[in-house]
Amino acid sequence: MPNFKMTRQGPFKGVSYSSGEVKDPKGQIAACWEAIGDSALKLRHFLDEERAESRARVLAEIPHSAQKEVATQLWNMFKELVSLCMGKSTLGLVAASKVLFSVFPEVALPIDNAEWRTVFKTIDYGDIILLMASEIAEWERMVEVHLDSCDPHQIKTLPSVYNVMAMKARS
């Protein structure tokens, strides 16, 4: 959460990592895990069973039916997280997406407010995940280059690369 600058205000205010330990004064991370922990473990097991060549490319390597299952499971977890991530001035969409990305960087997408409003224009996180998968597949088909190979030293997963493109699209 500190990397996303989400610990300065809102529901994750005060969360920090120092001296090898997480400080979670309001128990926010614990509450998130309580809400989605079982589902997260189920999705992790599902992804492991898909046996993709590369964890960074799992979203592109699994069949469409598996992508749909991943999107459904992420959407269900997202709905559980939104209420926990709401604050006085936030609907919780950004934080929920970033929590999921921190747990599943290979298949989840962190989405900021501008992207919610101007790029995706929906709150259905599952639809966004399927859109991301299809756009990555189409781009790779057209240019015959793996998207994640464009900057192999900086970006680690397909959603990371896609996020940079989505941030650019919001401008």
- For residue range 110-156, what is the model confidence (pLDDT) as tens digits? 988 888 888 888 999 999 999 999 988 888 888 888 777 776 666 67
CA distance 122 to 108: 16
**Residue 19 corresponds to which tokens in the numbers above?**
């001296």
**Residue 16 corresponds to which tokens in the numbers above?**
């920090």
The radius of gyration of the chain from alpha carbons, rounded to an integer in Å, stands at 16
Residue whose tokens read 């990305």: 101
Q: What per-residue confidence (pLDDT) applies to 5?
A: 54
Mean pLDDT of the chain: 85
Does the pLDDT of residue 54 top 60, yes or no? Answer: yes
Phi, psi of 18 (to 5 degrees): -150, 150
Does the pLDDT of residue 25 top 60, yes or no? Answer: yes
Q: What is the mean pLDDT of residues 39-53?
A: 92
Q: Is the pTM of this model over 0.95?
A: no
Residue whose tokens read 């592109």: 60
Sort 41 into a burial class: Cβ within 10 Å, 0-12 / 13-18 / 19+: exposed
Q: pLDDT tens digit string along 6-23?
A: 555 667 777 888 888 888
Which amino acid is it at 140? Answer: E
